[in-house]
Amino acid sequence: MPNVPLIDRDTATGAVKEQFDQIAAAFGAVPAMFRAVANSPAALTSMWGAFGAYGVGVLGPALGEQIAVAVADRNSCGYCLAAHTALGKKAGLSRDELSAAQSGESDDPRTAALLAFVLKLVDERGQVSSADVDAVRAHGWEDGQIVEAIGQVALNLFTNYVNIALDVPIDFPTVALRRAS
């Protein structure tokens, strides 16, 4: 049982109702995570806006989902792993690509370098070195792409923490975590 009430779309009002309508249009329903976050209209606005911004960002949807899957697995967030695996499939990623991303891996060396950087950010709580940033650049990533990847990590940390701390029920097909708890 979640640690906060899940706001119902039918009783939502104002900005929350408007955002729920947008979310339902995008997903076909309002997933439980958004219903939990809607306890704070400001948090819902922030999260939904960030999803929208990164959805049209320079990294593209497939790489964004690989980042989300890697961060979710690293943080043992079953909700986000399930949601972003489903979204990753819709973005054209194969089951094998998504499974590899759980460990920060990819057959593409450029993608693998960015995923390794992303996981280092998570593991080191942002305390990466200039050499770490230079290593990502050496694989062809530009500064704007690196900044966007960091932003996506921050968004995914927020959603991971919400889903874990508030015990949000998973409403996507579950995926086994690869990281040992």
Same-domain pairing of 43 and 121 = no
> For the segment 23-32, what is each residue's pLDDT rounded down to a tens digit?
999 999 999 9
Indicate whether 113 belongs to any domain.
Answer: yes
What's the chain's average pLDDT?
Answer: 96
Q: Which of 145, 2, 5, 148 minimizes the C-alpha distance to 79? A: 2
> For the segment 3-30, what is each residue's pLDDT rounded down to a tens digit?
999 999 999 999 999 999 999 999 999 9
pLDDT for position 2: 85
> For the segment 67-107, what is each residue's pLDDT rounded down to a tens digit?
999 999 999 999 999 999 999 999 999 999 999 999 999 99
CATH number (domain holding residue 117): 1.20.1290.10
Same-domain pairing of 108 and 134 = yes
Neighbours of 2 (CB within 10 A): 14
Structure tokens given for 120: 């280092």
> For the segment 29-42, what is each residue's pLDDT rounded down to a tens digit?
999 999 999 999 99
Host domain of residue 36 = 14-55
- Least trusted range by pLDDT, from 90-94, 143-147, 177-181: 177-181
pLDDT for position 153: 98
pLDDT class for 180, splitting at 50, 70, 90? very low
Same-domain pairing of 91 and 161 = yes
Same-domain pairing of 147 and 85 = yes
AA letter at 39: N
Neighbours of 107 (CB within 10 A): 9
58 by DSSP, 3-state: which?
coil
Same-domain pairing of 19 and 71 = no
Indicate whether 6 belongs to any domain.
Answer: no
Q: Which of 6, 30, 55 is the last residue of a domain?
A: 55
Structural domains in the chain (count): 2
Indicate whether 180 belongs to any domain.
Answer: no
Same-domain pairing of 99 and 38 = no
Question: Residues 6 or more apart from 170 whose CB is under 8 A from it?
Answer: 32, 78, 79, 82
Distance spanning both ends of the chain, measured CA to CA: 21
Region 112-127 average pLDDT: 97
Indicate whether 149 belongs to any domain.
Answer: yes
pLDDT for position 181: 40
Against a cut of 0.75, is the pTM above it? yes
Indicate whether 175 belongs to any domain.
Answer: no
